[in-house]
């Protein structure tokens, strides 16, 4: 059974009922709604559609809403600017007028205050490099370092510059309110820069009555500098290599990715590797060998999930992309992993219980881990230990909890109402697993459950052979 989870972004290529069904059957565990492009009417349509199809297939499928975030962008241009090295471009704010041949307005009024002479400005995902020459009133004059064509509404990156943008825009707040109303399972916080950004989103979600998980997207140098504090506050971390690869030196990106994965596994925080996994397959039916190796590295490092973006929104071969991820992940998982989780910190008593269960499962042949969780916490703990060969069958009383843990490494969540008698719960879980063909005689079930002793509940570990 595949342990690495697959996240697919939805768009025109994948929003139909037939394609959604095929994507789930091919191995999609979580669908991502990119609110940089998703209208509210579309969200209201697609969320119930996913829920219904998953219900019909009797499968657990999570939904992730990704906020657009406070992006800095150029304004509209009457014609594209063909820029050559040495050209001067002027960025204006607050309606300032420029007399330069090449100029464009910027949507962020604070640009003048945040930027300094000598800073680097990257336009259109880093295609065009510029250097700040001077600031005058509401204008910033820059010299073009690398040639390129600048169009309207192009993204601007300011590597190393601390910008004073809010963590959530008015659009983001409206999108989050909608997602909370529809019961979205996870929210991704774009351009998360410091732990307080996570706290802000969590407070907003609580105000909407949502306890959805928060994914902090690591996309700039400030986030990398604050990574340990962000990991501490967020529920999940995403290494968003698109903007991060622009903000940081390209040769540093693999090192940053590995360091973040190691940190996450050390403290038991789920981690996603995203962006450009199969970029060539937007137009081609097969991946490049480099893309296969990139996927293999993420799986070998034992990231919880790998994510597709443009490949499954507008690509020509979305289903084939999911199958490639599934095939490569399964093969690499059979070859072993980096075992970063061996350095995991085990602090709490319940973590120690889970750790003991995983050690026991690792020592037994044909072992399967069963965990019963009411809130998903024990499911998180056991996935964080990265069992060597045992699948994790997690039973929870509600579908909401199952969807929240749907991207946890190695975890196969199932809904099952709990009874007061723990033994009856275990018997019911074993019946479900037998019925689905997931266990067979000779297997050893390592069970993390609770015992009811004179009205008090205690965590327990049991081993039961399947006969």
Which of 419, 439, 421, 442 has its CA nearest to residue 431? 439
- Among residues 5, 14, 32, 353, the one annotated as catalytic is 32
Q: Confirm whether 324 is domain-assigned.
A: yes
Last residue of a domain, one of 332, 362, 386: 332
Q: Confirm whether 339 is domain-assigned.
A: no
Beta-sheet strand order (sheet of 367-372):
411-415, 392-396, 367-372, 444-453, 456-465
Residue 71: the pLDDT is 86
Would the CA dihedral through 33, 34, 36, 42 be positive or negative? Answer: negative
Residues 33, 180 within the same domain: yes
Domain count, the chain: 3
Residues 48, 82 within the same domain: no
Residues 130, 106 within the same domain: yes
- pLDDT for residue 150 is more than 80: yes
Distance CA 387, CA 394 (A): 14
Q: pLDDT exceeding 90 applies to what percent of the chain? A: 91
Mean pLDDT of 18-35: 98
- pLDDT for residue 451 is more than 80: no
User: pLDDT category, 453, cuts 50, 70, 90?
Assistant: low
Mean pLDDT of 129-141: 95
pLDDT tens-digit map of 191-215: 999 999 999 999 999 999 999 999 9
CB 193 within 8 A of CB 220: yes
Residue 454: the pLDDT is 64
Q: Confirm whether 369 is domain-assigned.
A: yes
Cα Rg of the chain (Å, integer): 24
pLDDT tens-digit map of 278-315: 999 999 999 999 999 999 999 999 999 999 999 999 99
Domain with 309 in it: what CATH number? 3.20.20.60
Q: Is the pTM of this model over 0.75?
A: yes
User: pLDDT category, 65, cuts 50, 70, 90?
Assistant: very high
Residues 219, 119 within the same domain: no
User: pLDDT category, 415, cuts 50, 70, 90?
Assistant: very high
Both structure tokens of 353: 């219980």
pLDDT tens-digit map of 246-263: 999 999 999 999 999 999
Residues 229, 202 within the same domain: yes
Mean pLDDT of 386-397: 97
- Among residues 2, 49, 51, 73, the one annotated as catalytic is 73
Q: Confirm whether 162 is domain-assigned.
A: no
| Phi, psi (deg, nearest 5) at residue 52 | -65, -45
Both structure tokens of 251: 């040769």
Mean pLDDT of 393-413: 97
77-82 LR contacts (CB < 8 Å, sep 24+): 77/104, 77/150, 77/151, 77/152, 80/149, 80/150, 80/151, 80/152, 81/149, 81/150, 82/149
Last residue of a domain, one of 332, 360, 390: 332
Mean pLDDT of 428-435: 96
Residues 386, 449 within the same domain: yes
Q: Confirm whether 119 is domain-assigned.
A: yes
- pLDDT for residue 430 is more than 90: yes
- Among residues 275, 312, 373, 411, the one annotated as catalytic is 275
Q: Confirm whether 340 is domain-assigned.
A: no
Last residue of a domain, one of 299, 332, 365: 332
Residues 44, 134 within the same domain: no
Residue 455: the pLDDT is 66
Domain that holds residue 354: 346-465
Mean pLDDT, the chain, whole residue set = 95
Query: Torsion angle of alpha carbons 284, 289, 290, 292, nearest 10°?
Result: 90
Distance CA 209, CA 223 (A): 28
CB 128 within 8 A of CB 91: no
- Among residues 217, 241, 269, 403, the one annotated as catalytic is 217
Domain with 400 in it: what CATH number? 3.40.1380.20
Residues 197, 308 within the same domain: yes
Q: Confirm whether 213 is domain-assigned.
A: yes
- pLDDT for residue 457 is more than 80: no
Residue 121: the pLDDT is 96
- pLDDT for residue 421 is more than 90: no
Q: Confirm whether 115 is domain-assigned.
A: yes
73 is catalytic: yes
Residues 198, 302 within the same domain: yes
- pLDDT for residue 225 is more than 90: yes
Mean pLDDT of 98-116: 93
- pLDDT for residue 452 is more than 70: no
Residues 37, 185 within the same domain: yes
Residues 114, 192 within the same domain: no
Domain with 146 in it: what CATH number? 2.40.33.10
Q: pLDDT exceeding 70 applies to what percent of the chain? A: 99
pLDDT tens-digit map of 345-379: 998 999 999 999 999 999 998 999 999 999 999 99
217 is catalytic: yes
Residues 391, 248 within the same domain: no
SS (H, E, C) 123-135: ECCCCEEEEEEEE
């Amino acid at each position: 059974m595949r342990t690495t989870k697959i996240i697919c972004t939805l768009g025109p290529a994948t929003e139909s009922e037939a394609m959604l069904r095929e994507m789930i059957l091919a191995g999609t565990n979580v669908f991502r709604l990119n609110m940089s492009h998703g209208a509210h009417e579309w969200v209201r349509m697609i969320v119930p559609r996913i829920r219904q199809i998953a219900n019909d297939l009797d499968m657990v499928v999570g939904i992730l809403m990704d906020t657009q975030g406070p992006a800095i962008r150029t304004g509209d241009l009457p014609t594209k600017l063909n820029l050559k090295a040495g050209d001067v471009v002027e960025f204006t704010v607050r309606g300032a007028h420029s007399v330069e041949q090449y100029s464009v307005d910027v949507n962020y009024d604070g640009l003048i205050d945040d930027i300094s002479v000598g800073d680097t400005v990257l336009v259109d995902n880093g295609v065009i490099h510029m250097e700040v020459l001077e600031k005058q009133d509401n204008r910033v004059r820059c010299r073009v370092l690398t040639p390129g064509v600048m169009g309207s509404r192009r993204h601007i990156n300011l590597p190393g510059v601390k910008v004073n943008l809010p963590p959530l825009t008015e659009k983001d707040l409206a999108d989050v309110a909608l997602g909370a109303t529809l019961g979205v399972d996870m929210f991704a916080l774009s351009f998360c820069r410091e732990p307080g950004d996570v706290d802000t989103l969590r407070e907003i979600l609580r105000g909407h009555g949502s306890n959805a998980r928060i994914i902090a997207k690591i996309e700039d140098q400030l986030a990398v500098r604050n990574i340990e504090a962000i990991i501490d506050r967020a529920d999940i971390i995403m290494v968003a290599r698109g903007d991060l690869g622009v903000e940081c030196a390209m040769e540093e990106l693999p090192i940053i990715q590995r360091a973040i994965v190691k940190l996450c596994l050390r403290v038991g925080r789920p981690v996603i590797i995203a962006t450009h996994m199969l970029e060539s397959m937007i137009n081609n039916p097969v991946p490049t060998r480099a893309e296969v190796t990139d996927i293999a590295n993420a799986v070998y490092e034992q990231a919880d999930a790998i994510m597709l973006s443009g490949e499954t929104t507008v690509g020509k071969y979305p289903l084939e992309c999911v199958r490639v991820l599934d095939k490569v992940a399964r093969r690499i998982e059979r070859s072993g992993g980096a075992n970063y989780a061996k350095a995991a910190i085990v602090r709490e008593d319940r973590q120690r219980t889970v750790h003991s269960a995983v050690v026991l499962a690792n020592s037994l042949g044909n072992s399967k881990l069963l965990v019963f969780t009411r809130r998903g916490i024990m499911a998180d703990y056991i996935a964080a230990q990265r069992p060597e060969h045992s699948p994790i069958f997690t039973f929870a009383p509600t579908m909401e909890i199952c969807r929240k843990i749907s991207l946890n490494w190695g975890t196969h969540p199932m809904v099952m109402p709990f009874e007061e008698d723990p033994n009856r719960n275990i018997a019911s879980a074993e019946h479900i697993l037998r019925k689905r063909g997931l266990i067979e005689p000779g297997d050893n079930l390592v069970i993390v459950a609770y015992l009811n002793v004179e009205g008090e509940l205690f965590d327990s570990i049991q081993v039961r052979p399947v006969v």
